[in-house]
Amino acid sequence: MRLPTHWIGVAPFFIFAIMFLILPTLYLMVGAFQNVAGEFTLENIAALFQPNIRAAYWISIKVSFASSVLGALIGLAIAIAIVRGGLPNWIRSATLTFSGVASNFAGIPLAFAFLATLGRLGLATVLLNTVFGINIYAHGFNILSFWGLTITYLYFQIPLMVVIIVPAIDGIKKEWGEAAATLGATQWQYWRNVVIPVLWPSFLGTVILLFANAFGAIATAYALTGSSLNIVPILLYAQIRGDVLHNAHLGYAIAFGMIFITGLANVFYIWFRTRSERWLK
């Protein structure tokens, strides 16, 4: 009997997914409902409603929501400009190439770049102060704050939006615009009654995906703010290391909460994505 050799090509993917995604996730989910002795308990889940943990989730949700909505709106505007704005083809190619790289640029290098640009002695901060007399820190801005982290996240949220939404914009058929013009519709009516309803599921789905992308980010936030901004990934990192209450199972519960939120976000993303593909076929 011959072995099914056509599965060999995808075997490394499934092995990688099982070892580094599925099994660790199951381990965290089981650990969230156990105590130190390995007995079943709901204390860890109940502990998620402690004020400091609840506040960390709320801050993470706000940062993720702000960066996802702003990133989606700005990215959508860029995508429409390069696809349907009549710009030269090289601008589209350059923008998509940069977006593909920038959407994966995060962590310590990104945090250092923003500190060097918008820190108290950053390049942009010094130029604004010396040339225009504008001291952004005197007006309340702080790179180590909520809006500082949100702006930093926009660096990879906007390019990710561009990469994902461009195929949806490409899927809008020219015949639809010609048919609308033939029927006497104005450009605004065409966009309001045709383009926006078609793009809306893709837009909402991408916003949800950006939310999940920002919610789980830790390297950039930790390198940029340290422990000054209490978001869930940093709280989880400290909890797992044993710097807080030395209760690893509470850390598993925090991770379980993150898995639940990001998993729910991905379910909605898949649902919206399916609806948008139905229109764009």
In 3D, which of 190, 165, 167, 166 has the Cα closest to residue 179? 190
Q: Which pLDDT score, from 0 to 100, does residue 127 have?
A: 93
Inter-residue contact 123 to 130 (CB < 8 Å): no
Name residues whose C-beta falls within 8 Å of residue 258's C-beta, 6 or more positions apart in sequence: 215, 216, 232, 233, 236
Q: Which pLDDT score, from 0 to 100, does residue 182 have?
A: 85
- Distance in angstroms (rounded) separating the CA atoms of residues 243 and 33: 21
pLDDT string in tens for the chain (281-residue length): 565 677 788 888 889 989 988 998 899 899 999 888 888 999 989 989 999 889 999 999 999 999 999 999 999 999 999 998 888 889 999 999 999 999 888 888 888 999 999 988 899 999 999 998 999 998 888 888 889 999 999 999 999 999 999 988 888 888 888 888 888 888 888 888 888 888 888 898 899 989 999 998 888 888 888 777 788 888 887 777 765 556 788 888 998 999 899 888 888 888 877 776 666 56
In 3D, which of 194, 208, 164 has the Cα closest to residue 279? 194
- Distance in angstroms (rounded) separating the CA atoms of residues 56 and 181: 51
Inter-residue contact 228 to 144 (CB < 8 Å): yes
Inter-residue contact 264 to 245 (CB < 8 Å): no
The letter for the amino acid at 125 is T
Query: Please, what is the Cα angle at 188 between 187 and 190, to 5 degrees?
Result: 65
* SS3 readout for 125-154: HHHHHHHCCCCCCCCCCCCCCHHHHHHHHH
Domain spanning 51-280: CATH superfamily: MetI-like (1.10.3720.10)
Q: Which pLDDT score, from 0 to 100, does residue 221 have?
A: 86
In 3D, which of 180, 199, 182 has the Cα closest to residue 190? 180
Q: Which pLDDT score, from 0 to 100, does residue 130 have?
A: 92
Q: Which two tokens stand for residue 20?
A: 């580094």
The residue behind tokens 């010094």 is 126
Bridge-partner residues for 40, per DSSP?
34
CB-CB neighbours of 81 under 10 Å: 15
Domain locations along the chain: 51-280
Q: Which class for 171: exposed (0-12), middle (13-18), buried (19 or more C-beta within 10 A)? A: middle
In 3D, which of 13, 96, 33 has the Cα closest to residue 256? 33
CB-CB neighbours of 215 under 10 Å: 22
In 3D, which of 70, 75, 65 has the Cα closest to residue 99? 75
